Amino acid sequence: MIRFTSAVTALALLGACSPSVSSRAERVFYRGDGAAAWGTVCELNRRGFIGLGKRGYVSVAHVTDNGTPLVGPKDGVTISDQASDWSFLGIDASKLDADDYPAMSAGMEVEIHGFPARDRDGEVIPGVVYGDDPEPPFWWVELRDSDDGIAAEGVIGGISGSCVFDDDNDLIAVVHANGFSQIEGTTNTWAKVVPVREAILQAQGRLPPRRRTTLLGIPMPRLF
């Protein structure tokens, strides 16, 4: 049975020699109306901005819905969805091209770049895409550890909105939550993510919004 923890209170810990965090991942702190949240926003792929004149960011709604950004980019939220937990900042999502963002597939090697709360240096977490969740648009990434002999660890605040990059350094998803589930042959440590491609399609009305039909969880193990 999965134990589900909001990603606002989650981020895997790595050793002191972690790779550098991508400049496209920026730490943020939102506050307003009694709510507050640390998190990360991700600069959208530059190749998707020819003629648009703005960079634009993608993150998760449960961070950016917390008021005003006091730390990080000050771009306003242009559209968001609480159920699927995505938000676009500083750009009209209708002008984005979903084909600029690779589709996720089981077995992809990825890196998660983000900032624990109050951490100015950030962390890089390696992982492998495990599979899609029964509730679209979410997917699961099995977290790994870059230090030999140390298993993937639990997480601390700040992973929400962190950028998931594939091995071509393309942005493919943002982190929604952390989870733990005992599955043989895995590290049992997971990140639940929102694919950017699907977020764009939902924002453009080309995919249906999320409808809860199953209990939260990750799919049964599959071979790849």
Which residue from 69, 116, 86, 119 is spatially nearest to 199, judged by alpha carbons? Answer: 86
Mean pLDDT of 76-88: 96
Architecture of domain 3-13+25-203 in this structure = Beta Barrel (2.40)
Give the whole-number percent of the chain exceeding pLDDT 90. Answer: 59
pLDDT in tens, 179-191: 888 899 998 889 9
Specify the pLDDT at position 154.
55
Q: Residue 17: is its pLDDT beyond 70?
A: no
Q: Is residue 72 over pLDDT 90? A: yes
The pLDDT of residue 40 is: 95
Does 205 score more than 80 pLDDT? Answer: yes
7 pLDDT more than 60: no
